[in-house]
Structure 1
Amino acid sequence: MNEYSEVSDLFNCLNTLGDVIIVGGALRDFAFKDSPPRDIDLIIDNQNKNELENELENVFKKFDFRRNRFGGYKVVVNNLDFDIWSIYDNWAFKEGIHNSSFSNISKGTFYNFDAIAFNMTTHELDADIFIQSLSEKLLDITLEDNFISMNPTPEINVLRAFKIRECWGLEFSEKVQNYISAWYSVTSEPEEKLKKAELKHYGKK
């Protein structure tokens, strides 16, 4: 924000809508890496759902943005990708898995390694599940068993499991192993699907 006035401008606009919450990988990158994150995931929390939904798109009109297929917004500022969501469009909340609140954001992530959230407005940090995954060096699925199959991007989940193991040295829990095996057994041309997912998600094979 100090380096790029356009990024600061984006956050100033988002602050008018409610609490601005950074989640997932960007927080890990800020904590552990010297280079900036590839993209930054943000959730906007406002108790007035209708106001938030009406105002979000108005805020983005001055930026380069588009809607994604899951209801969020991708905003590009200074070659940084921001994926921005209303808290009510968060997948786990939308599906009724948890109530929409800051304390439940981490609980609704697919992997324990992604269960980290920082509220820039209140300075609250929720990272207990993430810290445990690092200390145990174990990648596990955060969701309860009956919600796992509801996740809409299984090939991305499988791909990320291998990326996390490669880059961070986390081993797979039995739950993760079973998830990958089950996906592989019912998917036609699974290797090709993973290659396409990797190219789309990471920009390279």
Structure 2
Amino acid sequence: MSSSPTDSAILHDPLRVLRKRLSDFVTRTPLPWHGAMRTLLDVFRQHEWQVFVFGGTLRDLLAVSATAAPRDVDLVVAGATGDALREAFSRELIRINRFGGLRLQVQKLPVDIWTLESTWAFQQKLVPGGDFAHLPQTTFLNVEAVAAELDTRKGRARRVYGETFFRAVREQVLEINLEENPYAGLCVVRSLLTARKLQYALGPRLGRYIAHHGARIDAAELEAVQLSHYGCVRLDRNQLMQLIRVVSGKAGATRPRPIELPRARQLEWTPPRPQQFDWYSRGWRSISREDAVWKSTG
């Protein structure tokens, strides 16, 4: 990341910067999300529910831009039951996921909301505790390990939990936070996309994870995961093959170091000969490590 006054402020006091940017996102900045957040706040205040913003929205506000427009907003609620949430947002409700979380459409914008106790890692006893302070421990990636109070009273600092997240932003390294996750394919895809978006390196542990699961999941399945999660394919199977191959080649180093991903324009891919890949049994699994040729060019 190039040096700038904004970058220096983030590195010096990321907590203060995040509080300011979230406050602007919720109450001041005239973005498409402003009206949606006001609508949500009205409901939460009426019911006196505690609500925290969680994960990717906070990541983008700090690591991408003060005016970053999130794909969706994740909200976690304490003091409410699932039934109470469904009743309060019956008009905005689009669907209910397998874990009981709600996908809402608030002023045409997507919001995911669930109760604190229904968080998957809490239910599976993977993370002890179970309050907002422990919520950052439940994410797969360190750059999403952050939770911040949505609403706060004037004169009181907004509560923010995210020591691991702030360290990731300072070091600019994407790493595993909690490895246990039921969706390995989605973790592989999201890790690669997030690293490219932020221009962060991959930590050694995450590199080994991508190499391990990337060799066992068909490229077609990884494309399908993207369609299901994002509604489009952001990395086609050729791009996935290239990136996973790059990571796999570096993940086994004797002295593990952060892995820099090549940028899109730096990648040049030489298509493999048909005998180099067993397309029928594994989709793209390499038969011989040395057969396929990938190279990075400056």
Shift of 1:70: 2.4
Shift of 1:166: 0.9
Shift of 1:74: 0.2
TM-score w.r.t. the length of structure 1 is: 0.85
Q: Could you tell me which amino acid in structure 1 is paired with residue 100 of structure 2?
A: G
The residue aligned with 1:136 is 171
Contact 1:6 1:77 in 2 (8 A): yes
Structure number with higher relative contact order (C-alpha < 8 Å, ≥ 6 residues apart) = 1
The residue aligned with 1:201 is 229
The residue aligned with 1:112 is 142
The residue aligned with 2:102 is 73
Q: Could you tell me which amino acid in structure 1 is paired with residue 175 of structure 2?
A: D
CA RMSD of aligned residues (A): 2.0
What is the aligned counterpart of 1:166 among 193, 196, 214? 196
- SS of 1:100's partner is coil
- SS of 1:186's partner is coil
The residue aligned with 1:82 is 111
Runs of 4 or more above 3 Å deviation: 1-7
The residue aligned with 1:8 is 38
Cα deviation code 1:96-140 (max 9, x no counterpart): 122211110111111101111101245201132111112212111
- SS of 2:181's partner is coil
Counterparts of 1:35 and 1:133, CA distance in 2: 19
Q: Could you tell me which amino acid in structure 1 is paired with residue 171 of structure 2?
A: E
Shift of 1:6: 5.3
Counterparts of 2:220 and 2:112, CA distance in 1: 26
The residue aligned with 1:62 is 91
Contact 1:141 1:176 in 2 (8 A): yes
Structure 1 unaligned spans of 5+: none
Contact 1:17 1:55 in 2 (8 A): no
- SS of 1:118's partner is strand
Shift of 1:200: 2.5
Task: Name the count of aligned residue pairs.
Answer: 194
Shift of 1:5: 4.7
Cα deviation code 1:28-61 (max 9, x no counterpart): 2334333421100000012xxxx52331111111
TM-score w.r.t. the length of structure 2 is: 0.60
Contact 1:14 1:59 in 2 (8 A): no
Is the counterpart of residue 42 in structure 1 residue 75 in structure 2?
yes
Counterparts of 1:28 and 1:140, CA distance in 2: 14
Structure 2 unaligned spans of 5+: 1-25, 153-157, 234-298
- SS of 2:215's partner is helix
